Amino acid sequence: MTFLNVVPKFFNNDKKLIFRDSFMIFMLLFTLLISLAVRYILPWMDGILIEKGFMPSENISFALHDTYPMWVSFISLYNGGLLAGMVAGFLMLDEKDEGTLTAMIVTPVPLQHYTFYRFGLASLFSFVMMIAMVYIVGIEVLPLWQLLLLCASASLVSILVSLFLSLAAQNKIQGFAMGKFTSVAGWIIMGGWFVPENWQWVLGIFPPFLVHKAYWLALEGDDLWWVALALGTIAQLLAIYLMSKKFNESVYK
């Protein structure tokens, strides 16, 4: 059975699983609303903090608008990928609960077709979401060609998240708990903004971080953004490869 033949069947099954779960639909709407809120809240808060003398001040040397790149990349690039990854991960946990993955082993449909569809769709969806969210926020927007490259790499986080959930959780309840962990992991990106620049490269042990560093460097016009993007992409692909092997082993157990 060819890949193109099974895609409609996979997609129809996904529609049933998503529309019977209002929480997944809520996550989609909530993420877009957050982007819209940030568009207006960040400049408003920046003005208030400057007016009140809180940022900058004697103790804080920078203004809120100096941190806009951090907020935009975290909210748009990381959360966009996190959302798609969690949806894909929850779908995989649903299918694990229903025995779909186990049953697939004895069908003519290769497991590789399923994983390519699941992860490919998650990555494509997050790619579109990220671009939409960047333009909805409308702050610190890069030229389109750079944005496309960065979002393509950043969308890989959706695959990492979905693989992590499918490996770390046995069911959807555990998946929600693990989902909180992936959200907390994103704080590395925000915390990394305040780390001295030379030390930021060390945070590349968390592969998505380097993509965000690439975004910040691109905004500064620093040519090293290519290096950060390449390293971040390679690191994410390596992590996906290793986790995919674990996933395949878990299915065939």
- In which band, very low, low, confident or very high, does the pLDDT at 161 lie, cut at 50, 70 and 90? very high
Among 18-27, 59-68, 169-178, 187-196, the range scoring the smallest mean pLDDT is 18-27
Structure token digits, residue 107: 């069908």
**CA gap 152, 89 in Å, rounded:** 19
Instruction: Tell me what pLDDT residue 13 has.
Output: 60
End-to-end CA distance of the chain: 24
**CA gap 162, 71 in Å, rounded:** 23
- The set of residues, in sequence order, having a beta carbon less than 8 Å from that of 90 and lying 6+ positions away, is 21, 24, 165, 172, 175
Q: Considering the chain, what is the average pLDDT of its residues?
A: 84
Instruction: Tell me what pLDDT residue 104 has.
Output: 62
Instruction: Tell me what pLDDT residue 15 has.
Output: 59
What domain range includes position 32?
A: 3-251
Instruction: Tell me what pLDDT residue 11 has.
Output: 60
- The set of residues, in sequence order, having a beta carbon less than 8 Å from that of 55 and lying 6+ positions away, is 46, 49, 62, 63, 64
Q: Please check the confidence at residue 106 and state whether its pLDDT lies above 70.
A: no
110: left (phi over 0), alpha (psi -120 to 50) or beta: beta
3-state DSSP assignment of residue 42: helix
Q: Evaluate the CA torsion angle 201, 183, 237, 218 in order and state its sign.
A: negative
Q: Please check the confidence at residue 3 and state whether its pLDDT lies above 80.
A: no
3-state DSSP assignment of residue 169: coil
Total domains in the chain come to: 1
- Please state the rounded mean pLDDT for residues 216-226: 94
- Please state the rounded mean pLDDT for residues 194-202: 89
Q: Please check the confidence at residue 135 and state whether its pLDDT lies above 70.
A: yes
DSSP letters spanning 47-67: HHHHHHT-SSSSS--S-GGGG
Instruction: Tell me what pLDDT residue 29 has.
Output: 77
Instruction: Tell me what pLDDT residue 2 has.
Output: 57
115 or 224, which is more confident: 224
> For the segment 27-47, what is each residue's pLDDT rounded down to a tens digit?
777 777 888 888 999 999 999
- In which band, very low, low, confident or very high, does the pLDDT at 252 lie, cut at 50, 70 and 90? low
Scored b (16 or more CB within 10 A) or e, 210-236 reads bbbbbbbbbbeeeeebeebbebbbebb
Report pTM: 0.87
Q: Please check the confidence at residue 127 and state whether its pLDDT lies above 60.
A: yes
3-state DSSP assignment of residue 199: helix
Sequence-ordered alpha helix ranges (H) in the chain: 3-19, 22-52, 68-72, 79-97, 100-104, 111-137, 144-154, 156-168, 172-185, 187-192, 197-200, 208-220, 225-251
Q: Please check the confidence at residue 80 and state whether its pLDDT lies above 60.
A: yes
- In which band, very low, low, confident or very high, does the pLDDT at 22 lie, cut at 50, 70 and 90? low
Instruction: Tell me what pLDDT residue 169 has.
Output: 79
Q: Please check the confidence at residue 167 and state whether its pLDDT lies above 90.
A: no
